[in-house]
Amino acid sequence: MNVIIRLSLYIAVLLAMPLSILHAGPGKIRVACLGASITYGSLLEDPARQSFPAQLQTSLGGRYVVKNYGVPGATLLKHGDIPYHKTQEYQQALQDSPDLVIIDLGGNDSKLINRIYLHEYEADYRAMIAAFKALPSAPRIILLLPAPSFVTDTAGIWDPVIVNRVIPRVRNVAFAERVEVLDMHSILIDKADLFPDKIHPNLAGTTLMAKKIEAVIRQARDAGFDLPARMKVAGKTGAYHGYECVAFTWQGRDCKVVKPKLADKEHRWIWRARFWGHEPQTEVALLELGFHVVYCDVAERLGNKEAVETWNGFYDMLTRGGLHRKAVMEGMSRGAVYVYNWAAENPARVACVYVDNPVLDLQCWPARQYKTNAADKTEWEAFKKDYGFSTDAEALTARVGPIDKVPQIVRGKYPMLHVCGDADEAVPMNENTSPFAKKVRSLKGHIVVIVKPGFKHHPHSLPNPTPIVDFILTSMGRKG
């Protein structure tokens, strides 16, 4: 009975589709959307117009022909209960030889009945990708990370399995096959209200998906740009959430460059100051949009003269390699000291700043270790050494942190975003961001503060990084 109902619904969707969607004309860009029930548009009142593929067709316009090959219940796994590779839709997608392939499979693979085969997931996915790569159209391929599930039945489509066992495998495949990957999980993880049955997004949810995919499709890219090659650095290449990361040593410092699949036309980038890889969701979202992610380890110099000078050289090397002249600066916790101390010396080189539960007053931290007679004064002693203070008294009167450099910082006229937990016990907001923001505003600087009520120092960032990403894009006059 379920098969009959599914076939009837599919026929109804086909009949409702405009003829132009079924048959691509000359010069059209053919887009194939493969997936399961979310792709198909299950639970939507009008899947033919409200599914994310249908919305893509509307938003992309007549130059594109978007076809929905969604099969409710389908798995990527060949040994799954409804393997997609055995469906007519899969065979038809191959026969249609699309120019762009979007694959959204993985949610059903998290069901208990299918989990025992997850060790085969990557091989099965790579086989599917290979089939499309072999087509004469040589299509661009984009993998979607599965949307979240909000069900509590551990035998069903269960989010912990999606997060811990499916998504890492999708990213591994994206890295190995050098194809793009878009995160649908993060942009919906805080939107349970958009999932009426806790599995399928409503119209508002599919709209969010369609908009994200459209932004990536439309964005102008520089496919031939290879930053590490232009910089002539020799290092070890590894994976970073599905992207190629080149790790190398420069002037005795550990450095990293993460390459997008297709570089942003303007070669934009975000500079991680400290704590590499921690809460990377903002960076990953920007990688999807063609940004590079870079890192130069100057720990533990706490933004002193040596740190600033080292970063000056690193910046020169990156920009000679072709990166944009202005960097997006990212600093978590004490990373904010590095960010702002460098930005104060280099105002024309900063596009915007994003810091998270930031240390801004060094008399708050690490001085608290001395003031409270903490057993561990490692960071306090390091601070004294970094800045050449011979005594505690000298260090206690020093004004060398970002909160002491607001006039220089504001001169840069770059927007600043602070994300803060108002219950931060390690770096209290009322001793750091609140007085810093007051000083910035008094000097007509532009600062936005996002407060997370009840949150402590950890976790950093936001599970859904969209507000941060939107701030960054808006700061640079871009929409995505």
288: nearest Cα among 418, 180, 411, 371: 180
Q: Is there a domain that residue 186 lies in?
A: yes
How far is the C-alpha of 101 from the C-alpha of 334, rounded, in Å? 42
**Band of residue 477 on the pLDDT scale cut at 50, 70, 90:** confident
How far is the C-alpha of 161 from the C-alpha of 184, rounded, in Å? 15
**Band of residue 194 on the pLDDT scale cut at 50, 70, 90:** very high
pLDDT of 258 higher than 90: yes
**Band of residue 11 on the pLDDT scale cut at 50, 70, 90:** very low
- pTM of the entire predicted model: 0.91
What is the predicted pLDDT for the residue at 22?
A: 36
pLDDT digits 0-9 by tens, 313-367: 999 999 999 999 999 999 999 999 999 999 999 999 999 999 999 999 999 999 9
449: nearest Cα among 439, 162, 276, 169: 439
Q: Is there a domain that residue 380 lies in?
A: no
What is the predicted pLDDT for the residue at 7?
A: 40
What is the predicted pLDDT for the residue at 25?
A: 55
Q: Is there a domain that residue 379 lies in?
A: no
Domain boundary among 165, 198, 218: 218
Same domain, 160 and 232: no
Mean pLDDT of 50-79: 98
**Band of residue 27 on the pLDDT scale cut at 50, 70, 90:** confident
- Tell me which amino acid residue 80 is: G
User: How many percent of the chain have pLDDT more than 70?
Assistant: 94
pLDDT digits 0-9 by tens, 395-447: 999 999 999 999 999 999 999 999 999 999 999 999 999 999 999 999 999 99
Q: Which residue has the higher pLDDT, 231 or 20?
A: 231
Q: Is there a domain that residue 405 lies in?
A: yes
* Cα Rg of the chain (Å, integer): 25
Same domain, 238 and 95: no
Parent domain of 280: 227-362+400-475
pLDDT digits 0-9 by tens, 108-138: 999 999 999 999 999 999 999 999 999 999 9
Helices 121-133, 167-177: crossing angle, 10 deg rounding:
40
Domain boundary among 218, 240, 257: 218
**Band of residue 12 on the pLDDT scale cut at 50, 70, 90:** very low
Same domain, 131 and 239: no
For the domain that residue 183 is a member of, what is the CATH number?
3.40.50.1110
Q: Is there a domain that residue 480 lies in?
A: no
For the domain that residue 345 is a member of, what is the CATH number?
3.40.50.1820
Cβ atoms of 260 and 242 closer than 8 Å = no
Mean pLDDT of the chain: 93
Cβ atoms of 109 and 118 closer than 8 Å = yes
Same domain, 148 and 248: no
How far is the C-alpha of 472 from the C-alpha of 50, rounded, in Å? 29
Sign of CA dihedral 246, 284, 306, 459: negative
Same domain, 183 and 103: yes
Cβ atoms of 268 and 290 closer than 8 Å = yes
How many domains does one find in the chain? Answer: 2
Same domain, 239 and 139: no
**Band of residue 10 on the pLDDT scale cut at 50, 70, 90:** very low
What is the predicted pLDDT for the residue at 241?
A: 97
pLDDT of 6 higher than 50: no
Q: Is there a domain that residue 167 lies in?
A: yes
Helices 52-60, 203-218: crossing angle, 10 deg rounding:
50
- In total, the chain counts a number of residues equal to 480
pLDDT digits 0-9 by tens, 438-449: 999 999 999 999
Mean pLDDT of 383-393: 94
**Band of residue 26 on the pLDDT scale cut at 50, 70, 90:** low
In order of 32, 112, 234, 294, 472, the CA distances from 311 in angstroms are 44, 49, 19, 11, 21
Same domain, 356 and 308: yes
Domain boundary among 179, 195, 218: 218
Could you give the angle at the alpha carbon of 323 between the alpha carbons of 141 and 414, nearest 5°? Answer: 110
How far is the C-alpha of 12 from the C-alpha of 206, rounded, in Å? 20
Same domain, 178 and 259: no
Q: Is there a domain that residue 368 lies in?
A: no
Same domain, 98 and 157: yes
